[in-house]
Amino acid sequence: MRGLKTALGAEAAEADAGDTITVIGNTGDDITLAGLRVCPDLDTVMYTLGGGINEAQGWGRARESFTVREELVSYGVLPDWFGLGDRDIATHIVRAQMMAAGYPLSAVTEALCDRWQPGVRLLPMTDDRVETHVVVDDDAGRRAIHFQEWWVRHRAALPAQEFVEVGAESAKPAPGVLEAIAAADFVLLPPSNPVVSIGTILAVPGIREAMAQTTVVGVSPIISGAPVRGMADACLSAIGVETSAAAVAAHYGPELLDGWLVDVADSDVQVEGIEVRSLPLYMHDPESTSAIAAAAIELAQELRD
Amino acid sequence: MRGLKTALGAEAAEADAGDTITVIGNTGDDITLAGLRVCPDLDTVMYTLGGGINEAQGWGRARESFTVREELVSYGVLPDWFGLGDRDIATHIVRAQMMAAGYPLSAVTEALCDRWQPGVRLLPMTDDRVETHVVVDDDAGRRAIHFQEWWVRHRAALPAQEFVEVGAESAKPAPGVLEAIAAADFVLLPPSNPVVSIGTILAVPGIREAMAQTTVVGVSPIISGAPVRGMADACLSAIGVETSAAAVAAHYGPELLDGWLVDVADSDVQVEGIEVRSLPLYMHDPESTSAIAAAAIELAQELRD
């Protein structure tokens, strides 16, 4: 998911070099490990647009090593299923230090981006603590585990009964989030996970309402009934949404979503109250990604006129 | 200094395998860098006796890399003169996390030693914050800098006007320190820096007084008027003590020191009120180090009888 989402951001940034692009990142995946504050989604955007991403993997730093992780596991303070690289850990050290000093996550993100210069304004959805927990029920009993344990350790194979966005109902959008949405020509929903990425952002009170006031175009994360990448189907089935381009659009709903880009394989998709366009949605290379971004911009402009 | 001090500790541990050995470590060199808590002296003892030391260097971990440091310098949060290795950083991450959770340094040290099993009981001199600052006076003016900046960055080449043990006068010995001294058959002063290592420990109120009540044998860090290793001469001259085996013993004084081992090159040394013995003091290999430890034990036993 992350690779697609952020690649799309990059291409959009290139297409509209004159405009300011704000990326609002999900922080529900964030986790504190060995005292380090890890923000996978924000960092993936930052590294990708800043030129530090491991491109093959779609997350983490390029030219990465795992020495600190090995030592932390030896000390017994880090679970062995979480792949924290040495270069990546430096980011979490800086973040943990700034947060310990009282800086909110939005200020920390801005400081980190000073180095990476991603070319967009990167904002966390909130400065408050929101954590996606997953209710599972197996031989060990019914319990809620952190999203990362479910996603990384269990590779989403443990059936999810429910997703709980702990802290979301009292969270406030980070400074600048509502203002950026209100001022935007349009909002682009990337083909990220509709439940635990975009759904989590929409769970912060005020964000969905602000987006409903502007033009929103989404790119389907589902092609021919299967997620393009990642394990979105495991999340959709948990909330009773079919894994299809049409069902995801209907889940967002016409109050939120104005336009929807689907793959040519799904060209027969129709969703009441949402303008659907089809084009090749696989991002094989920068050119195909760029074409998707351009189509999203074109559709948004049409819908605004 | 560190290599000698800890090697001697290791040999003493071996010589008296049946006994409990407590090592009291200097914490005046400790420094917080990028939010990580670095305790060079405690870690050198722990790594050396636990088998993780870089033997050639005498500090830091074996098989070390410096990826995190490179990244922290790129973020602008770490001075480029401090050599923090990746393996070493894991120790500082664990320590910072435990200290942030409210554990005192003595408890943190015990937890870290759970992994390293140094074979001795390792105690910080104090759980309170004591920091060695160095008053210097150069083109940039008279000012106090952290010991590490003076020692590592300036390699002790900037003339020291004074050493200030910030926080020492109100510090309390860590739990177990006074009890270990009171219960000890004897106390061994290793050939560490008499000013900024042993001197700092002695600056914690109560420790010198407790040691004065028991048998104390020291190993001279000076041979033929030169430090065996490190830059002790730069420290001694700042406090007006000659760089000689005799002057260092007189500086400790007969109230504290009962026996003093000097090199054969200094066999003519005599100090009022202190029993001096000479033997080869260069630690070429485990055998020579072991012989020094054995001589210290023998002298202490003689002085006790």
Positions in chain B whose pLDDT score sits under 50: 1-15
Residue A263: pLDDT band (50, 70, 90) is very high
- Has residue A190 got a pLDDT over 60? yes
Res. A5: pLDDT tops 50 = no
d(CA B182, CA A100): 40
Question: Which of B68, B94, B100 lies closest to A90 in CB terms?
Answer: B68
- Per-residue pLDDT tens for A86-118? 999 999 999 999 999 999 999 999 999 999 999
Residue B151's nearest CA partner among B70, B243, B238 is B238
Distance from CA of B89 to the nearest CA of A (A): 7
Q: Classify domain B177-304 by CATH number.
A: 3.40.50.10680
| Chain A interface with B: residues with Cβ < 8 Å | 34-36, 65, 67-68, 71-72, 74-77, 86-87, 89-91, 93-94, 96-97, 100, 112, 115
What are the tens digits of pLDDT across the range A275-289? Answer: 999 999 998 888 999
Decide if A74 and B115 are in contact by the 8 Å CB cutoff. yes
Of the partner residues B35, B87, B97, the one whose CB lies closest to the CB of residue A77 = B97
- Measured distance CA(B260)–CA(A8) in Å, rounded: 73
Q: Please tell me the predicted confidence (pLDDT) of residue B4.
A: 34
Contacts of A74 (CB under 8 A, 6+ apart): B90, B115
Q: How confident is the model at residue A230 (pLDDT cuts 50, 70, 90)?
A: confident
Residue A163 per-residue DSSP state = E
**Spatial CB neighbours of B160, under 8 Å, sequence gap ≥ 6:** B134, B135, B136, B150, B234, B235, B237, B238
Give the whole-angstrom CA distance, residue A300 versus residue B26.
Answer: 65
Residue of B nearest to A64 (CA): B67
Residue B289 token pair: 């180090």
Chain A residues with CB under 8 Å of B74 CB are 90, 115
pLDDT for A211-222, tens place per residue?
Answer: 999 999 999 999
Which residues of B lie closer than 8 Å to A, measured between beta carbons? Answer: 34-36, 65, 67-68, 71-72, 74-77, 86-87, 89-91, 93-94, 96-97, 100, 112, 115
Q: What is the token pair recorded at B157?
A: 């080449």
At B19-32, the pLDDT tens digits run 789 999 999 999 99
Looking at residue B283, its pLDDT comes to 87
Strand A160-166 with A187-189, pairing: unpaired
- Backbone phi, psi, residue B16, to 5°: -120, 55
Burial (CB count within 10 angstroms: exposed 0-12, middle 13-18, buried 19+), residue A285: exposed
ipTM confidence score: 0.88
* B243 Cα to chain A: minimum distance (Å): 41
Question: Which of A1 and A181 is assigned the larger pLDDT?
Answer: A181
Q: Which CATH superfamily is domain B27-124 in?
A: CofD-like domain (1.10.8.240)
Superfamily of chain region A27-121 = CofD-like domain (1.10.8.240)
Query: Among positive and negative, which fits the CA dihedral B243, B245, B249, B250?
Result: negative
Residue of chain B whose alpha carbon sits nearest to that of A75: B115
User: Which residues of chain B lie closer than 8 angstroms to A94, CB-CB?
Assistant: 34, 72, 75, 77
CB contacts < 8 A, A to B, total 79
Interface contact A68-B89, CB threshold 8 A: yes
For tokens 């006790």, name the residue: B304
Task: Provide the residue ranges of all domains of chain A, joining segments of one domain with +.
Answer: 27-121, 131-166, 177-304
pLDDT at B6: 38
- Band of pLDDT at residue A229, cut at 50, 70 and 90: confident
From the list B74, B76, B94, the residue facing A34 with the nearest CB is B94
